[in-house]
């Protein structure tokens, strides 16, 4: 009789993997749960896709995606060596950890945050320090001091914050970078949805500080979540070891390089969808407020909505949030519910099209009127 053995490393045996948002196969589902752009990629991307010939796939892609790097470098007004393309933002996060953090070191995250960060830390067998955000989801004033006090070698800040959408000003990011003794990763997955009036631009920080890495992705603003293409922006002392030592060979394929390059070149057209999302975000916040929901001031393409308070019907708002999530799902509308502290009485809602948002709002209004 053969005896089954477990060959996993002990830290892998102990961990729980990342749980993705639901991706249903059936038609007719309204997906407001994984922060995808509700509008398609630009015609320039469609044209680039149509120009690809199957015979071209027999050859390996350009190893460093240099055409994309050049377009990105020109856009951000940085050098070619400041850009590293990756197979989605998640690959960049993993590369950062494996390149700059030893097993047993401490990685810090703002809590709550993107749930993949601690998973990647556990894979590397690192300690995770969770620094509590303030009640309004802003960074504590002593964030850098707390990072140093726990001995963090690496810290993740998602900005705008997920799941609230709250934006940390560049001045505060600068203060953190100047005082933190480790590598600061600013995850800007949702940066394209920030109101232009905010004049947000953290890229100049990489020229002032050699410990800042910025993550950008084509998944959200450019409607290419299915493509899996992202890139990092940082000092060459940070990007070079990842580009030339720890990156997988040919880590981005030919098709993704071509389409991502076309999308970034046509960002003016992509920006039209960002305007639509921002307009819908404003409208949905107002409608939810009328229904008694309280939304954090989001600069992203999603809202974190707290259930109505002050009514006997909502004495147990945590159970109500879970029930709202399930009832919406049963009705063919997917949103996100997080079963974790500070989030159990809230729902995260991706901004969809006008029609999708209307169906959500109509359901909520109908449900509330019956209870």
pLDDT at residue 316, as a whole number: 62
Across residues 130-151, what is the average pLDDT? 97
What is the tens place of the pLDDT at every residue in 303-354?
999 998 755 455 566 678 888 899 999 999 999 999 999 999 999 999 999 9
> Closest Cα partner for 94 from 66, 71, 114, 68?
114
Q: Which domains does the chain have, with CATH numbers?
A: 32-40+269-370 (3.90.1150.10), 43-268 (3.40.640.10)
pLDDT at residue 6, as a whole number: 83
> Closest Cα partner for 349 from 368, 315, 325?
325
* 212: three-class secondary structure by DSSP: strand
What is the tens place of the pLDDT at every residue in 242-264?
999 999 999 999 999 999 999 99
Q: Is the pLDDT of residue 14 over 90?
A: no
| pTM, to two decimals | 0.95
Beta strands in the chain (DSSP E): 30-31, 83-86, 106-111, 127-132, 152-158, 183-187, 212-217, 230-234, 294-295, 302-306, 333-334, 346-350
The burial of 103, by beta-carbon neighbours within 10 Å (0-12 exposed, 13-18 middle, 19 or more buried), is given as exposed
> Using an 8 Å Cβ cutoff, are 154 and 185 in contact?
yes
CA angle in degrees (0–180, nearest 5) for 8-12-14: 115
> Using an 8 Å Cβ cutoff, are 257 and 62 in contact?
yes
pLDDT at residue 314, as a whole number: 52
Show Cβ contacts of residue 323 under 8 Å, excluding neighbours closer than 6 positions. none
> Closest Cα partner for 347 from 314, 371, 323?
323
Taking the CA atoms of 186, 189, 192 and 194 in sequence, report the sign of the dihedral they define.
negative
> Using an 8 Å Cβ cutoff, are 230 and 220 in contact?
no
Q: Is the pLDDT of residue 191 over 60?
A: yes
What number of other Cβ atoms are within 10 A of residue 48's Cβ? Answer: 20
pLDDT at residue 12, as a whole number: 85
Q: Is the pLDDT of residue 3 over 90?
A: no
* Separation of alpha carbons 160 and 359, rounded Å: 26
- In what order do the strands lie in the sheet containing 294-295? 294-295, 302-306, 346-350
């Amino acid at each position: 009789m053969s005896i089954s053995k477990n060959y996993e490393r002990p830290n892998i045996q102990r961990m729980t993997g990342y749980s993705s948002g639901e991706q249903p196969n059936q038609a007719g589902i309204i997906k407001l749960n994984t922060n995808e752009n509700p509008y398609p990629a630009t015609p320039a991307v469609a044209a680039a896709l149509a120009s690809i010939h199957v015979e071209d796939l027999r050859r390996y892609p350009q190893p460093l995606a240099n055409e994309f790097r050049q377009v990105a470098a020109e856009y951000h007004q940085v050098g070619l060596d400041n850009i590293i393309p990756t197979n989605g933002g998640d690959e960049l996060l993993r590369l950062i950890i494996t390149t700059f953090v030893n097993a047993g070191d401490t990685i810090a995250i703002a809590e709550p945050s993107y749930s993949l960060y601690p998973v990647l830390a556990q894979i590397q067998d690192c300690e995770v320090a969770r620094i509590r955000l303030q009640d309004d989801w802003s960074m504590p004033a002593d964030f850098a001091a707390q990072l140093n006090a726990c001995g963090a070698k690496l810290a993740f800040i998602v900005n705008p914050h997920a799941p609230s959408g709250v934006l940390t000003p560049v001045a505060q990011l600068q203060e953190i970078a100047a005082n933190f003794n480790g590598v600061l990763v600013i995850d800007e997955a949702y940066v394209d949805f920030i109101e232009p009036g905010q004049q947000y631009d953290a890229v100049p920080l990489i020229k002032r500080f050699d410990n800042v890495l910025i993550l950008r992705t084509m998944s959200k603003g450019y409607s290419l979540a299915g493509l899996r293409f992202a890139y990092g922006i940082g000092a060459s002392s940070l990007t070079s070891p990842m580009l030339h030592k720890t990156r997988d060979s040919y880590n981005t394929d030919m098709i993704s390089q071509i389409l991502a390059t076309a999308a970034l070149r046509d960002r003016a057209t992509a920006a039209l969808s960002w305007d639509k999302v921002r307009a819908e975000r404003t409208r949905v916040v107002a409608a939810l407020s009328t229904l008694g929901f309280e939304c954090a001031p989001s600069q992203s393409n999603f809202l974190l909505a707290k259930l109505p308070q002050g009514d006997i019907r909502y004495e147990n708002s945590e159970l109500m949030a879970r029930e709202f999530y399930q009832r919406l799902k049963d009705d063919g509308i997917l949103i996100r519910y997080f079963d974790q502290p500070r989030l159990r009485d809230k729902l995260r809602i991706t901004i969809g099209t006008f029609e999708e948002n209307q169906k959500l709002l109509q359901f909520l209004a109908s449900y509330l009127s019956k209870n």
